[in-house]
């Protein structure tokens, strides 16, 4: 299933994408794509609804973030061997974890806002993992049972804030609009192998990232297992699993975003995003 949230910011409705690509309204059955709806039981209940019986949304307008009620937005740094190489960093012995503020979450096609005094805003196409059933001290073998599905994420970053303002990565990752997610969440059963997905990102039509989740250092199952040893993972929590090479920071010389540019990105089977960059007011 492809589950979506559509409509005006803060007033999104839940929906499902049918076989013809049309959005069907789920609001008579679930209040949101959040909480219990993301558990195995909740997803089974949605799957049992005859999609053809649901109202067609003729004009969905804006796509919102594909899940709601996210309590934790957990990111993994330097998780692609080829990306670590382009930044001159050593391969991590354990996953590098940091948090992105949930207030950074936006819709997949909403504007990316370049923060005040920013000179080094950067792009990162990433595979997002959405938690379904609570995960606490889970084994790697059982980890994927706790995943509701996957989504596309642009882990927008401000490199100076990230690396030169006291060493706190969260500062460079959490500005408003720095977490576009969607356009939809694809349930786990539809992604045969999350470690074999092509991914790409372009800026103003110039291809910048062209990689695959196969070069992840730590795979999805291991990450869910690993993170659950340090904190419980709840329905709607998101894990952003790292980016392949081609970020602006890794270019020689480095290239960063300016207002008025268009970012496009996609992951095989998970759809595409398109964002216009604008300066903060």
At 187-229, the pLDDT tens digits run: 999 999 999 999 999 999 999 999 999 999 999 999 999 999 9
Residue 272 sits in the same domain as residue 198: yes
68, part of any domain: no
Residue 121 sits in the same domain as residue 201: yes
61, part of any domain: no
Residue 34 sits in the same domain as residue 108: no
For range 125-154, the mean pLDDT: 98
Residue 220 sits in the same domain as residue 178: yes
62, part of any domain: no
159, part of any domain: yes
64, part of any domain: no
Number of domains in the chain: 2
Q: What is the mean pLDDT of the chain?
A: 95
Cα-Cα-Cα-Cα torsion 262, 263, 264, 266, nearest 10 degrees, comes to -170
Q: What is the CATH number of the domain that holds 228?
A: 3.90.850.10
Q: How confident is the model at residue 30 (pLDDT cuts 50, 70, 90)?
A: very high
In this structure, is the dihedral angle defined by the CA atoms of residues 84, 178, 252 and 126, taken in order, positive or negative? Answer: positive
Residue 12 sits in the same domain as residue 103: no
Q: Tell me the per-residue pLDDT of 157-170, one tens digit each, with 9 for 90 and over.
A: 999 988 777 767 88
**Three-class HEC string of the chain:** CEEEEECCCCCCEEEEECCCCCEEECCCCCCCCCHHHHCHHHHHHHHCCCHHHCCECCCCCCECCCCCCCCCEEEEECCEHHHHHHCCCCCCCCCEEEECCHHHEECCCCCEEECCCCCCEECCEEEEEEECCCECCCCCCCHHHHEEEEEEEECCEEHHHHHCCCCCHHHHHCCCCCEEECCCEEEHHHCCCCCCCEEEEEECCEEEEEEEHHHECCCHHHHHHHHCCCCCECCCCEEECCCCCCCHHHCCCCCCCCCCCEEEEEECCCEEEEEEEEECC
Residue 147 sits in the same domain as residue 186: yes
Taking the model in full, what pTM does it have?
0.96
Residue 48 sits in the same domain as residue 178: no
270, part of any domain: yes
Residue 105 sits in the same domain as residue 232: yes
Tokens of residue 115, six digits: 């923060």
Residue 181 sits in the same domain as residue 260: yes
100, part of any domain: yes
- The answer to whether 189 and 147 are in contact (CB under 8 A) is no
Q: Which domain holds residue 212?
A: 73-279
- The answer to whether 6 and 61 are in contact (CB under 8 A) is yes
Residue 21 sits in the same domain as residue 155: no
80, part of any domain: yes
């Amino acid at each position: 299933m492809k589950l979506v949230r559509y409509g005006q910011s803060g007033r999104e409705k839940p929906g499902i994408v049918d076989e013809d690509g049309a959005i069907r309204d789920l609001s008579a059955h679930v209040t949101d794509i959040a909480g219990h709806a993301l558990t195995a039981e909740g997803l089974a209940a949605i799957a049992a609804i005859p999609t053809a019986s649901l109202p067609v949304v003729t004009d969905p307008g804006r796509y919102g973030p594909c899940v709601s009620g996210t309590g934790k937005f957990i990111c993994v740094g330097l998780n692609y061997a080829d990306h670590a190489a382009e930044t001159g960093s050593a391969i991590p012995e354990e996953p590098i974890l940091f948090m992105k503020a949930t207030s950074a979450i936006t819709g997949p096609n909403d504007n990316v806002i370049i923060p005040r005094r920013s000179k080094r805003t950067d792009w990162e196409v990433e595979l997002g993992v959405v938690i379904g059933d609570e995960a606490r001290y889970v084994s790697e073998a059982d980890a994927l049972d706790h995943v509701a599905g996957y989504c596309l994420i642009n882990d927008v970053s401000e490199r100076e804030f990230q690396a030169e303002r006291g060493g706190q990565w969260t500062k460079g990752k959490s500005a408003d609009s720095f977490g576009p997610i969607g356009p939809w969440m694809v349930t786990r059963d539809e992604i045969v192998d999350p470690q074999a997905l092509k991914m790409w990102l372009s800026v103003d039509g110039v291809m910048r990232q062209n990689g695959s989740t196969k070069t992840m250092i730590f795979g999805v199952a291991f990450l869910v297992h690993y993170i659950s040893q340090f904190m419980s993972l709840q329905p709607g929590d998101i894990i952003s699993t790292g980016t392949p090479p081609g970020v602006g920071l890794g270019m020689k010389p480095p290239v960063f975003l300016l207002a008025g540019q268009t970012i496009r990105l996609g992951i095989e089977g998970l759809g595409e995003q398109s964002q216009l960059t604008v300066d903060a007011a």
